[in-house]
Every structure is written in C-alpha cells, then in structure tokens.
Structure 1
C-alpha cells in the first residue's frame, strides 16, 4: 500500500479548485506534485452517499490530467490493449497491477458490489489512462506498466519527474 498522507484543510481547498467541485470520499493524498499540492487523492471504495467507487487513486493535478488527456486523444488505448494480447510478460505485469490495485482498495474497505473490479480497464484492456497514471504515481515505478509508460511519454509536466522518467535518462 502506498503511503497516504492525511488531507489537510488546505489540501481539500486545492482539490476543490482542481476538480471544480467538492472532493468526495477522501482518504488522503497519495501523491504530491513538486509544489506540494495534491496530485493524486486516495478515495474510499464507498462514497459517503453509499455509492461504490472503484477508483482508489484519483488523478487531480490539472497539468498531469491535461497531458494524459492529450495522450488519450491520440487513441493509444487501442494499441496498448492490443499489445496485451501479444505480449505475455506485459499482460502478466498488467494483471499484477490489477491485483495490487485490488489489494490496496481492500485495505481501505470492503465493497462487495465492486469485488474483483479494479479500474482503468485492468486487467484485460486499457480504458482510462488517467486511472493508470494515478495508480503509477501513488504506487511508484514498476507497479503499473501502462501508467509508467504514459508518465515517461508526457515527461515532467508537474515540476518533478516520475522516478521512471529519471531511470530512462
């Protein structure tokens, strides 16, 4: 489980500005940008209104969100999903990311309605790069292969390179 820092009142204010709405179900901050602002928030698997919420690591940094949106608009999810069918090592790593995601969420609460469902299309397809990048930032390099790949592709958009990017230099 990644380190999750408690969210301060200042963090909640920043999150509200980042999201354009009050944040829901905050457990804490799972990743901070170089300027100290929240970049990924950890959320409860069940929102306060009782709704199941499978997105444990929610990407909030507007600069990273915009960069990932650009990559998504290029249609890479189809190519990434196709690679899973031809690369057993990649498929195994992506399945392991799925299992890690589920294990992290289980530590935050049991929600039977979403049992076995992670996020972002894991483990069989790539559906949402924002989720995969949020997971990669929260968990660190080597956990989510597609999250790491997108982070390497977007470069340093937030003032601090992801460790995966540093390794590639």
Structure 2
C-alpha cells in the first residue's frame, strides 16, 4: 500500500470512520483529493462487494440525489431498450470481473478458493450484482467509471471502447455533469 498518512486522514474524514480493506487510491483529483479507493476483495474472510469504493463526499451526495430521483430505474430501462448500451454495459461487467481478479493479491485468491467463493467472484459484477443487465448502485458504478479513466479525455485504453470509463458512468456525466463537479475534502 502506497497511501500516505495525510491521505489516510483525508479518507477517514471523508468516510467518517477508519477505513478497512483499502489497497490504494484508484482515482484522485488533480489537487490530490482522493475520490475512489481500490479495495481488497476479501476483508476478514468475507467478500467485499466492490473493487472500487467512492470516498468523495461531494460525489456521494450528488449521486445519492440522483438515485433518490429514480435514475437507477431509468438507466435500467435504457439498458433494456438500447442494444448498444446493453452490450457496452455487459462488457463493462465482464471487464470488472476480470479486473478484480487481475488486481487481487495472490493470498486473497488462494483464500477465496479455500472458502468456496471462487464462483461468486466469477459471477458477481459491479457492486456485487448477479444480474449484469441491472444496476445495483450508482455510487459503485461511478467509482468504477473514474477508476478506469472516466475523468480523462481519450482514455480508451483504460476503460470503455470509445472513451475511458464505463457506459453507465458516461450516461451520468452526460446527464448530470458529475465529471464537472468540484470535489473538496
């Protein structure tokens, strides 16, 4: 782990508690404010539901308001009706599963196998969702988007096929301009 003491203090302020299971900062602002954490896949022998955890209070609040307004259902309807979006979203889910295995510590891989969780880790997508055509949590979706280049212009090598990030993350940026939100500690 390459986190500094200052970063850990900021993260604890953001979360309102001492963090556990952090591997590293997956995305931060140009000013160095952590916004997305990379998490261990196994914490105290329990599967952790997501590879990327949103720690920014500003993004958390903005996305909470979007979820409260019913956007998850609207996005799920779009995924159901738009074949191109559906294919991109399913590809994001598959990339997520592979990325989680790729970033996982060898000791966690072995322990996951010992505990009988291997199939769970092969079948559960973004945020621990089993039905990949659904959207469990926009916070986890957006964290994955940022961690895979969603905030960068022309970041195709880091995320989705045309630009960086994820299909759902791009929808959120297009509709709500989350990528333009000023993030504070």
Alignment correspondent of 1:64? 59
Alpha carbons 1:41, 1:60 under 8 Å: kept:
yes
Does residue 15 of structure 2 align to residue 19 of structure 1? Answer: yes
Alignment correspondent of 1:166? none
- Residue 126 of structure 2, aligned match among 119, 125, 143: 119
Alignment correspondent of 1:144? 166
Alpha carbons 1:40, 1:58 under 8 Å: kept:
yes
Give the TM-score normalised by structure 1: 0.83
Show structure 1 runs of 5+ residues with no match: 160-169
Aligned-CA RMSD value: 1.9
Work out the CA distance in 2 between the residues paired with 1:34 and 1:61. 14
2:20 match: secondary structure: coil
Work out the CA distance in 2 between the residues paired with 1:158 and 1:135. 19
Alignment correspondent of 2:78? 83
Does residue 82 of structure 2 align to residue 103 of structure 1? Answer: no
Work out the CA distance in 1 between the residues paired with 2:33 and 2:27. 9
- Residue 32 of structure 1, aligned match among 28, 41, 44: 28
Work out the CA distance in 2 between the residues paired with 1:34 and 1:114. 33
Alpha carbons 2:88, 2:167 under 8 Å: kept:
yes
Q: Report runs of 4+ in structure 1 exceeding 3 Å deviation.
A: none
Between Structure 1 and Structure 2, whose CA radius of gyration is higher? 2
Q: After superposition, what is the alpha-carbon deviation per residue over 1:90-112, rounded to whole angstroms, capped at 9, x for unaligned?
A: 11100111011111110132341
Work out the CA distance in 2 between the residues paired with 1:75 and 1:154. 17
Alpha carbons 1:45, 1:108 under 8 Å: kept:
no
Alpha carbons 2:97, 2:121 under 8 Å: kept:
no
Q: What is the number of residues matched between the two proteins? A: 155
Show structure 2 runs of 5+ residues with no match: 113-117, 151-159
Bigger Cα displacement from structure 2, 35-44 vs 113-122: 113-122
